[in-house]
Amino acid sequence: MSSKRPVPRRTTRLALALASVLVLVIVFAGVVSALTAGNVDGVWGDPPGTNPQEFRWCYAPDNTGAPAGDPTSCSTSNAGIQNGPNSTLTDENQVRYGDPAVGSGSANRSGFGFNGNNSVGVVAADTPFYLGRFTHYNRPIYADPVLTDISIDVTVGGILCDDNSVPAEGSTQTFTYDVTLEETNNNPDNWPNDTCPYGETVPYNNPYGGC
């Protein structure tokens, strides 16, 4: 077991956690039979309160098999870049923040990404279905304040009832979720008996040091 290599800091937090991919599901109220849905797109909102350090909205390539990774373009002032003239409804929208402790640029900032399903298809009643991929991009960063939570509007288009009629709520519906984040300091004092911040039962593949 190797030891963690802490990055020097003063009053800022050094964020270093575990990248994860989640599958989101929703249930349409009142739906008791099959439905059809098309494209899903997620757009990130504004962080509450004071903006996290070096916060920005971004978009990235549409990678259906894995997280998109490095953003294509970002803006520190315009959330509309996520669906702007150079981005699409099928790419991955991201938020990034923090000063990179290793490297530079937005690819080395922490953040979230969401790439919606480009074509949901037919969904049977009472059956969870794949909306898209949510990714936590973990990078070692300095940030004060840190990102604690942010909303995302998930829009599902092309919704049809089993008889191909349009639902009373419309063929395009938007659902808002709040995503929260608890950052952890890269400080050995937090784990006095273990250099693994999550314990030995959780794989921790960290290129900057760890288990």
- Structural domain tally of the chain? 1
Counting every residue written for the chain, the total comes to 211
Flag whether 123 is in a domain.
yes
Q: Are 57 and 44 in contact (CB under 8 A)?
A: yes
- pLDDT, residue 7, reads 34
Residue 192 has pLDDT above 60, yes or no: no
Q: How confident is the model at residue 152 (pLDDT cuts 50, 70, 90)?
A: very high
User: Quick check: is 178 in a domain?
Assistant: yes
Domain that holds residue 104: 13-25+34-190
Tell me whether residue 204 is in a domain. no
Residues 44-63: what's their mean pLDDT? 94
Q: What is the pLDDT of residue 12?
A: 32
Predicted TM-score (pTM) of the model is: 0.76
In a domain, 201, yes or no: no
Q: What is the pLDDT at residue 74?
A: 98
* 180 — pLDDT class (breaks 50, 70, 90): very high
How large is the average pLDDT for residues 49-74? 93
Is residue 205, in this structure, part of any structural domain at all? no
Both structure tokens of 128: 């969870």
Q: Is residue 112 part of a domain?
A: yes
Split at pLDDT 50, 70, 90, the class of 14 is very low
Residue 180 domain flag: yes
Q: What is the pLDDT of residue 8?
A: 33
Domain assignment of residue 148, yes or no: yes
Arithmetic mean of pLDDT, 57-76: 93
